[in-house]
Structure 1
């Protein structure tokens, strides 16, 4: 052996010796003090017993102190995350935050707020909630809650939520500062059940076409949907656009009930099947408040689960037209199992299948990271811009009732593909949006002029028609953005000017008239909505 080979071999030998030493030291240490058998033989055949013994041994013998509760919760999370991307554990402290949107309500005083200049500012009092009934208004500053002064105290959103939420029937004293008044106003508010609305902005987009946005599927969504549709039918609606873009899903039964309103009797809506769950089929009944109404459903890459059930039922039964981009691809059904300590697990128990028999669940065998990156890969592959970039194997081909070809294996492919609208898009515009610059500027503007604006523009439709973003207002926004750390780029500002102006006007309208005020403006130049209108009229 030459000197050169010795020089290489010696470090490797030394490294191997150290590794073996660590291993032997660990092994020997584990047998010190009659610990050669760590776990009791009585639990040797029980997986749960083994897990409990491991957790107990860590708590007893680990070199540092451990939080046994946190250790257990992490173990549960790890187990569930290795099953599939949609099974997970909800800790007791997170349960209400996770469950309230599904239930469609929470218990509290009923205000939307944001923290501005270290002060809690009411953005809106929720309709028919206890705060609105007592007269709390948008723009009010909450200075004190019971005996606790909260202004200028570096308070966080979570701190405010803890103070204002609480069991129904309990009372809280809220002191507010209102523009134009010198003294604090005291409101003794009795907490109540507050709705979290999932159906937004129902309105007539023209003389006979209605529009409704469903943001998620909660237990209350079906009832909200019926109310919205009834209002639109009173205005002579003959066609309906249902916007499911960005709707990540929710309660299966709500989507099924809404589909039922559109289909003739005894048409399949969806079926579910799992290893421990027998096949369950869901069919339409004779209800059908929307029978005879033309239907267009809008989806995109963020439409998932219950949204895909509704879109799939309409597509497979040839009941309406689907427009947009390929949906997310979540075809797994979860059941929620509560535990006595206030925690819960949501476990995947079945897959769902559209009426033609297709599963639209996208693959997840390569792990959670790869699964979550799939949406980004769509963008990289050009799928959001060109329908030709999407390729389905023939093995995933299915047929609708009338023989139209549809595909499974990764979301609902729309009947009409609408590419991502990038006209006018620049890095400068995206920085304004993602940093909340337009929203904050518009809130500041409306806050100082709310009363006058509402006197001038009585509703969102009048505001849409008559209000114009002046050059001075636009320049003030750009100046505010620069002061907030967004580097000025004149070329990009010029390119994105119309989109910036539209976003500013829409946010101002939202602060004045709620979500309806926002959508009535942004929908005007929405290419997917405009194409849906064209298809309906044809």
Structure 2
């Protein structure tokens, strides 16, 4: 690099060139060894850590305007008086509306150091003049449990979006609340869950598996075999258990699913998972950036390695699309595994498979109504989100009175003909 900087015919950006070289080098290894620039590292760590430093709002950009969708309960924005439906028009004296406004740009302006201040100018419905708030940035939780509730008198439901540093505490809280409501059966939703921390997957499996059962083991060229086992009395070791998976359930989701399936503890329902069986270790670099280097492979209790092949990087990137085109998401009999990938579960000796994700015990096809051209255009154009936002803002008080709790909304809200006509008119 010194010679290039010194002798190349034109001036060069040494930082950009070095980063490009690191990325190209890692791409030659495997699809999951990655480089994260210093300026992106805090955001990349936030989901894994279960928190970030910011102002505590969920926002959405609609018609080139930054809209507050919700505020974090107890967070700095809620405490100071910012409301859902507010429009942020200025941040620290700089206009934040206009063509080309990106989510990443907004996050970079709202996130910062703990205790630092940011000034927001707000336009509020039915208020003539704009409001100005000075907010002190604080630690904002990122919840990995999206929802938990009772489906019927005996069946609970938990949806998990990631495996983070706070996942086990969140799930334990959800399990206790559901058990207090009479839960005997549990549906645990991992659809779309791309994974996260190995520790979180291990600890979560320990809530469902009894004794000292093996949960997962990992091994690499310079990494001796490491066994992770159950070791405590879990909160849900006995009831009926179903895990929901799809093609985007990956990594830690597959560790949990594989351990439950191998021990015949529960059933996997849905579609074949992503197929990521590689373990990364974060390696910090001197400029504050980080390499996440693959150091080991992980295996389910029966010894299954579920990483899909990655000899062809381009085909790897297109794998999900190709699976869809092959009919895998629609037809249960579209996948044919060789005998060499067959394994037997540890209790009932059922056949399970390795080599490219966790195969479900019961197949559920993709809901094709969500993949029609019309439906896709509605979502990709932002029409559903913008209508929902507009409808809630115009009916916020009446909705809160009619549905004071999530349970009330979940049980009683109906998309009747009048509601749909309002959407079509929009």
The answer to whether the superposition gives a TM-score over 0.5 is yes
- Point out where structure 2 has 5 or more consecutive residues left out of the alignment: none
Q: What corresponds to 2:341 in structure 1?
A: 396
The yes-or-no answer on 1:386 pairing with 2:331 is yes
Q: Is the 8 A contact 2:60 2:68 kept in 1?
A: yes
Counterpart residue number, 2:61: 115
Which secondary structure does the structure 2 equivalent of 1:265 belong to? coil
SS in 2 for 1:449: helix
Q: Which residue of 348, 351, 371 corresponds with 2:316?
A: 371
Give the conservation status (yes or no) of the 8 Å contact 2:247–2:274: yes
1:435/1:155 CA distance change after superposition, 3 Å: closer
Counterpart of 2:122 (choices 168, 176, 198) is: 176
1:58 and 1:246 mapped to 2: Cα distance? 44
Distance 1:433 1:342, change over 3 A: same
Please give the alpha-carbon distance, in whole angstroms, between the structure 2 residues aligned to 1:400 and 1:336: 33
Pair 1:346 & 2:315 matched: no
Which of 168, 180, 186 is the equivalent residue of 1:240? 186
Q: For each residue in 1:41-62, what CA deviation from the matched residue of structure 2 results, as whole angstroms up to 9, or x when unmatched?
A: xxxxxxxxxxxxxx33332333
- In 2, Cα distance between the equivalents of 1:467 and 1:276? 56
User: CA offsets per residue over residues 76-113 of structure 1, 9 Å max, x none?
Assistant: 10110100010011111221222211111110111011
The aligned counterpart of 2:215 is 269
> How far off is 1:70 after superposition?
0.7
Q: Please, which of 133, 136, 148 is the counterpart of residue 79 of structure 2? A: 133
Cα deviation, residue 171, structure 1: 2.3
Distance in 2 between the 1:311 and 1:119 partners? Answer: 41
What's 1:210 paired with? 156
Matched, 1:255 2:255: no
Report the Cα distance in structure 1 between the residues aligned to 2:318 and 2:99, rounded to whole angstroms: 40
Compare 206-215 and 416-425 and name the one that shifted more: 416-425
Stretches of 4+ moved more than 6 A in 1? none
Q: Helix, strand or coil for the counterpart of 1:448?
A: helix
- SS for the counterpart of 2:423 is helix
CA shift, 1:325, in A, is: 0.9
- The structural deviation recorded for 1:188 is 3.0
* CA apart distance, 1:154: 6.3
Q: For 1:283, which of 223, 229, 236 is the aligned residue?
A: 229
Equivalent runs, 1:81-160 vs 2, <5 Å: 81-151=27-97, 155-160=101-106
Structure ranking higher in helix proportion: 1
Q: Is the 8 A contact 2:156 2:183 kept in 1?
A: yes
CA distance in 2 between counterparts of 1:479 and 1:178 reads 25
2:367 aligned residue (408, 416, 421): 421
CA contact under 8 A between 2:62 and 2:386: conserved in structure 1? no
- Distance verdict in 2 for CA 1:317–1:166, change over 3 Å: same
Distance 1:69 1:256, change over 3 A: same
Distance change in 2, residues 1:268/1:113 (3 Å): same
List per-residue Cα deviations over 1:120-152 (Å, max 9, x = no partner). Answer: 211100122111222321001223334445455
Instruction: Flag the structure with larger Rg.
Output: 1
Q: What is the RMSD computed on CA atoms of the aligned residues?
A: 1.9
Is the 2:158–2:189 contact (alpha carbons within 8 Å) kept by the matching residues of 1?
Answer: yes
Pair 82,474 (structure 1): closer, same or farther in 2 beyond 3 Å: same
More strand as a share of residues: 2
The total of aligned residue pairs comes to: 425
In the aligned structure 2, how far is the partner of 1:380 from the partner of 1:70? 38
Matches of 2:54 and 2:313 in 1, distance apart?
Answer: 36
1:407 and 2:353 aligned: yes
Equivalent of 2:253 in 303, 307, 315? 307
Q: Are 2:208 and 2:237, in contact at CA under 8 Å, matched by a contact in 1?
A: yes
The answer for unaligned runs of 5 or more in structure 1 is 1-54, 481-538
Change (3 A) 1:364 1:158: closer
- Using a 3 Å threshold, how does the CA distance of structure 1 residues 152 and 358 change in structure 2: closer, same or farther? closer
Q: Is the CA contact (8 Å cut-off) linking 2:47 and 2:164 kept in structure 1?
A: yes
Contact 2:369 2:375 in 1 (8 A): no
Q: Distance in 1 between matches of 2:5 and 2:370?
A: 58
Query: Secondary structure in 1 aligned to 2:223?
Result: coil
The structural deviation recorded for 1:385 is 1.5
Distance 1:80 1:302, change over 3 A: same
Higher relative CO (Cα under 8 Å, sequence separation at least 6) belongs to 2
